[in-house]
Each structure stands twice: as C-alpha cells, then as structure tokens.
Amino acid sequence: MDNKLEIKNCKEYLKTLLTNEDTIYTNCQHVSQSGMTRDIQLLFIKDNKLLNLNYYVSKALGNRVVNNGVRIGGCGMDMGFALVDNLARALDIKLHHRWI
C-alpha cells in the first residue's frame, strides 16, 4: 500500500473511532538508557473494550512502533501528553491524556 494512502487511511480510521473530549491512556513501555527516547503504548476504551492504538497512531504521526509502544524522542516534559497532543492536532480534535 502506498505510504500516503496508509497514513490517510489510519487518520480516517482514528477519526471514526475517536471524538472530541475522549481520553487516551498511555503506558511507558521502555525508556532508552540516555533517557532521550521513550516507547509509549496508547490505549483507548470503546464499548468496554480496550483498544491498542499503537499501529494507527504511529502511521498517522510518522513514528515507529518499538517495544510495543510508539517511539518518541525528547525529554524534560510529559512525553505521553506530547504524543496525545500530536495526535489531537493531526486529527483536529481535542483529546485528553491519562497515564496508567
């Protein structure tokens, strides 16, 4: 599948799944030895089912999935919040973030 089409399809799927004011739960799966990179799992509860959004979010944002989490670089701030905020901006909706 063409990469641009895959990104578009992932964003469209996430837009059908998520609505304004939904909460995305994050779980840190791995922190690099330098502390500059994190692999964060993104989870969402829909109809009492826990959904892992890693694949769709990674494609929509152009990140990789490593150690069962979306890889994000950076430190000195809440990287789970940053990941959810990046997703909200990409989908043009408001999302909430909670760590588990």
How far, CA to CA in Å, does 68 sit from each of 2, 29, 32, 39?
24, 7, 14, 7
First to last CA, the chain: 34
Tell me the C-alpha distance between 17 and 81, whole Å. 19
Classify strands 22-31 and 49-52 as parallel, antiparallel or unpaired: unpaired
Give the domain ranges of the chain.
3-99
**Is-above-0.85 flag for pTM?**
yes
Confidence at residue 76, expressed as pLDDT on a 0 to 100 scale: 87
Q: pLDDT value at position 65?
A: 97
What residues in the chain have per-residue pLDDT under 70?
A: 1
Tokens of 96: 């909430």
